[in-house]
Amino acid sequence: MGDMRETETERALLKEAIHYFKAETSGYHKLFQALRSKYESYGEFGDKIRLTNLSNEEADRLSGLLRKRYDPGKSAQIKLADLENGLKETRFGELSLLRLVEAYYREPLRSKKEKKQQEQLIWQQFWIEVTAELRGLFTREPDEKSPFLPVCMRSQFFDWLQDLTEQQATGSVAVRQWYSSAPEELRKSLRMVAQAFCILDALGEYVRLPVLAAKTTGNPHAFDSNQALGKLLLYALAHAKKQDAPQHAEEIAQLLYEHRVLRDDLSSHVMICGITYVDADEQHSGNHWPKHEVIGLPLRTVVNKPVWYPVMRPIHTDVRVVWVMENPAVFSAIVDRWEQQMSNHPYPSLVCSSGQFTLAVWALLDRLVQGGCQLFYSGDFDPEGFQMAARVWRRYGGEAVKLWRYTTSDYQQAMTTQYEIDEARWDSFSQSILQNKWADTPDWFQETLQAVVTKRKPGYQESIIDELFADLIGMY
């Protein structure tokens, strides 16, 4: 009972002390702020604290407590020993300084280091629980609501969770911020992303993003890229591909496509001629289009046909050749000449991207290369044209891609002095060469890059249409 009475006495005294120090006219708030700040920084109060720009009330209270004059508007450097001695002379002298400050703020004092360690322990426990919960989800027997996820994809997903724990994963910063504001909401969202992974594998075919979202959450817009859950899904998919989070619409569409998700399968198109397909239930197919017809294919059509191939084969090789270009005017000019000189033959196998490659273009080229075709790619002699050529080369490699009419002599013929490119574009292009960002392309191609950046004059395909057509017609 003695101990209990003593504790009750201390509590009553502490309550009285806090009431006194928090009184509106007490003038002690700045002092307690400085004490807490010092402790949080160093884990102790140290030898002294400093208060600046004292008010009249603060100067008066400190002078009375410490038996020393302090002037308003001045700074005060207070020794902790003097402060503790001053407190001992009051009726609150039995209370420790640490206990006073903790009671003042109604929470234990912890150093920043201690807080960080505690937060890290809680963070790690969160991911241990999430991982255990989702492993349970993935190891259940497959059914319509929770299909089985194969080891390879499951491994990718849990690698992402592990890297999130260590804050080294794609999306780590955004996920940490989400955790700080709404950890339970994050937990539920991670479960939905895991379910999306399951559904993708179970379907084994392309699925539209709104359909995937509806199957997973009941909301067809849940995985939109402007939604937090949609961003979380993109982080997981990007990490599986060892990529940074996509920033632009085309990058997002490409990442989703690589995981068999279609954001929009109608607005993305590719122009072709002389190329046909085999349906999934066909052993062989002839040309599905008229032999002299240019066709615009939406992404929907491209991905729904498993096999694409040229209608005509070259006469001197068994390799199926497809001619790829980004310029629609050059494409049309070649088709016009073909009609004039080769009207008895079907169109050659041409693909036109009409500028920057859309997802439909990449999807078609993916299928052509998978079917054993060789791509001859031709583009302009300017920074953007070279970048497009390099993207094709890097995606499919030198066995599947021939950079068509990109030599220094081709550049000399295509070069124009009538059109100037902004110097900033040339500077950026030149810097990329100096940084060896083109080192993975053929040596002869790098020589062309160097010639172009030296002259700082662009070259365009329209000036070498004769050579392009001669190469093409020579194959047939």
Give the tens place of pLDDT for each residue, 374-416: 999 999 999 999 999 999 999 999 999 999 999 999 999 999 9
The token pair that represents 214 in the structure block: 């509806």
Residue 78: band (very low, low, confident or very high) from pLDDT cuts 50, 70, 90:
very high
Overall average pLDDT of the 40-65 stretch: 91
The upper half-sphere exposure of residue 111, i.e. CA atoms within 13 Å in the direction of its Cβ, equals: 10
What's residue 143's pLDDT? 46
End-to-end CA distance of the chain: 107
Nearest-Å Rg of the Cα atoms of the chain is: 35
Per-residue pLDDT, averaged over 272-286, amounts to: 75
Of 433, 469, 463, 439, nearest to 451 (Cα)?
A: 433
**Is the pLDDT at 457 greater than 70, yes or no?**
yes
Read off the pLDDT of residues 217-266 as tens digits, 9 standing for 90 and up: 999 999 999 999 999 999 999 999 999 999 998 899 999 999 999 998 89
The three-point CA angle 274-276-277 to 5° equals 165
With 60 as the cut, is the pLDDT of residue 346 above it?
yes
pLDDT at site 159: 93
Model's pTM, two decimal places?
0.73
Q: Is the pLDDT of residue 11 over 90?
A: no
What does the alpha-carbon distance between residue 396 and residue 325 come to, in Å, rounded to a whole number? 16
36, 196, 216, 230, 393 from 146: Cα distances, Å = 51, 10, 10, 20, 40
* pLDDT > 70? residue 474: yes
Instruction: Using a pLDDT cut of 90, give the percent of the chain over it.
Output: 71
Chain mean pLDDT for the chain: 90
**Model pLDDT, residue 286:** 57
pLDDT of residue 235: 97
Per-residue pLDDT at 149 = 47
Name the token pair of 57: 């009330």
* C-alpha–C-alpha distance, residues 251 and 254, integer Å: 5
Please indicate whether residue 5 or residue 367 has the higher confidence score (pLDDT): 367
pLDDT tens-digit readout, 139-180: 544 444 444 444 466 788 999 999 999 999 999 999 999 999
Where exactly are the structural domains of the chain?
Answer: 2-105, 121-262, 269-474
Element (H, E) at 147: none
Round to whole Å and give the CA distance between 317 and 475.
9
Indicate the range of 66-70, 164-168, 204-208, 439-443 predicted with least confidence.
204-208
pLDDT of residue 379: 96
Average pLDDT estimate for 298-308: 92
Are the CB atoms for 285 and 277 separated by under 8 Å? yes
The mean pLDDT of 406-435, rounded to a whole number, is: 93
CA distances from 6 to 97, 268, 362, 416, 456 (A): 18, 79, 80, 96, 88
What percent of the chain shows pLDDT beyond 70? 93
Higher pLDDT among residues 9 and 359, named by residue: 359
Q: What is the pLDDT of residue 282?
A: 59
Nearest of 430, 334, 319 to residue 369 by alpha carbon = 319
190-199 confidence digits (pLDDT tens): 999 999 988 8
Please check the confidence at residue 472 and state whether its pLDDT lies above 50: yes
Residue with tokens 């209990």: 4
pLDDT at residue 201, rounded to an integer: 75
- What does the pLDDT read at residue 284? 52
Quickly state the pLDDT bin for 287 (edges 50, 70, 90).
low
Over the range 391-405, which residues count as b (16 or more CB within 10 Å of their CB) and which as e? ebbeebeeebbbbbb
Q: Give the pLDDT confidence score for residue 120 in this predicted structure.
A: 92
Q: What would the CATH number be for the domain defined by 269-474?
A: 3.40.1360.10
* Run of H or E including 350: strand 350-352
Using CA atoms, how far apart are residues 308 and 324, in angstroms rounded to an integer?
14
